[in-house]
Amino acid sequence: MTRPSPAERRQIGEKARADLPLETHASWPTAADRPDPVALLEEQATTRLPDLVPLRYGRMAVSPFTFLRGAALPMAADLCAARHTGLTVQLCGDAHLSNFGLFASPERTLVFDINDFDETLGGPFEFDVKRLAASVVVAGRNRGFSAHDTRHAARAAVGAYRERMAAYATMRAIDIFYAMVDAAGIIGYVDRRARPFLESTVKSATHHDVLHELPKLTEPTPDGSRRIVDHPPVIRHDETDSPMADSAFDAYRATLEDDRALLVSRYEIVDWALKVVGVGSVGLIAYAILLDGGGGIDPLFLQAKQAEASVYERFLGPSACPTHGQRVVEGQRRLQAVSDVLLGWAIGARGRHVYVRQLQDQKGGAVVDAMTLADLVGWSELCGWALARGHARSGDPIAIAAYLGTDDTFDRAIADFAALYADQTERDHAALTAAIKAGRVTAETGV
């Protein structure tokens, strides 16, 4: 089959722009039959650990930003109800500010990229861009920044995405594949006022590894081994439900490349505990698994996390992958410049689909509540850059760049949308807090 020429690919993007003009993205027409966001959250709760559902509501109720973090399903429903470009990429599916960060590459250098893929699925590129921009505005409002400043930060994110996509459209596919956003590059890229924040984040990530976490998460036992320390409800042992029985562990190793499977075979599981993570994921099974390579001096932490259907599947159709753990892993590999060397999947206890990765490997994220305006703008630009690189790897950068055009029309339209959707998020957050007050749902802090 002959692949379309660059000119033909540009025509695809230009036709999409004619069908759905850039200015169209600025609107947010709330549908009269819009689903109740609290009802959607209650629906998700039916497949989660019942005793942890109140903790999920409690974390979402803290602020509109934490609500947005947990409300991937309500936003997916909103985005899928509107017209879209049809320019398909591998969606992150949950591209908010806190789902980007630093982590170590296999070469042990720090890179900046998307770091959450639970909702990944093929879909229109602008869904991720809109969720990112909305999160920027909601986070900025949370920090008390003005409407002008939050709009500026959202435009910075979208502008970085558009400009980077234009650059990727001129590159060979193999060069896009090799492209990455490394720590040195991000510090030089952002405004100097944001550099202290990034330098601090890089420094923290450098020291945030398994040896750093070992004394915090575990304690020695009389026989000289170590055991994960319980901190209920956030960390607790569940002896009745091994996350990775021998057959599941063998199946997980089979999803790794041969050299990495050999590496894992040198370790044995010595302890595991349920570890609550994130906001939207609360209630799903997520185990911290402690392994040792011998003598108690060679520790390794893995995380086995339950994967359910992407929130987009009910609107865009099911994934072609036979398990949701595989869907998450394959989506991550398509989007990230480099992925965890121990990333794999299996079917765990009680038939749950899980994906497995290292729990701590020089990871660093943004503390949104501590950001100055310059920090928010700088981080938002980096998120736009990383998102564009992932979309360029998994979609058609020439068609997308042709759709976006060469001026800031798209940036301004998405910033308008983000402000309107931030208003919607505040209303939805108020609906959740009202439901908690009325006793419709129960919320706990988990402290």
Residues ≥6 apart with Cβ < 8 Å to 437:
none
The pLDDT score that the predictor gives to residue 160 is 97
Question: Are 38 and 71 spatial neighbours (Cβ–Cβ below 8 Å)?
Answer: no
pLDDT at 207: 58
Q: Per the omega criterion (within 30 degrees of 0), is the bond before 233 cis?
A: yes
Report pLDDT for 131. 98
Dihedral sign for Cα 342, 344, 346, 349, please: positive
Q: Is the pTM of this model over 0.85?
A: yes
The pLDDT score that the predictor gives to residue 323 is 97
Scan for tokens 């590159």, then name that residue.
171
Reference 400, options 95, 44, 90; nearest CA is 90
Intervals of the chain under pLDDT 70: 1, 189-191, 194, 198, 202-212, 239-246, 360-364, 446-447
With H, G, I as helix, E, B as strand and everything else as coil, classify residue 110.
Answer: strand
- Give the pLDDT of residue 97: 94
pLDDT score for 130? 98
What's the pLDDT at 206? 59
Q: What is the pLDDT of residue 1?
A: 67
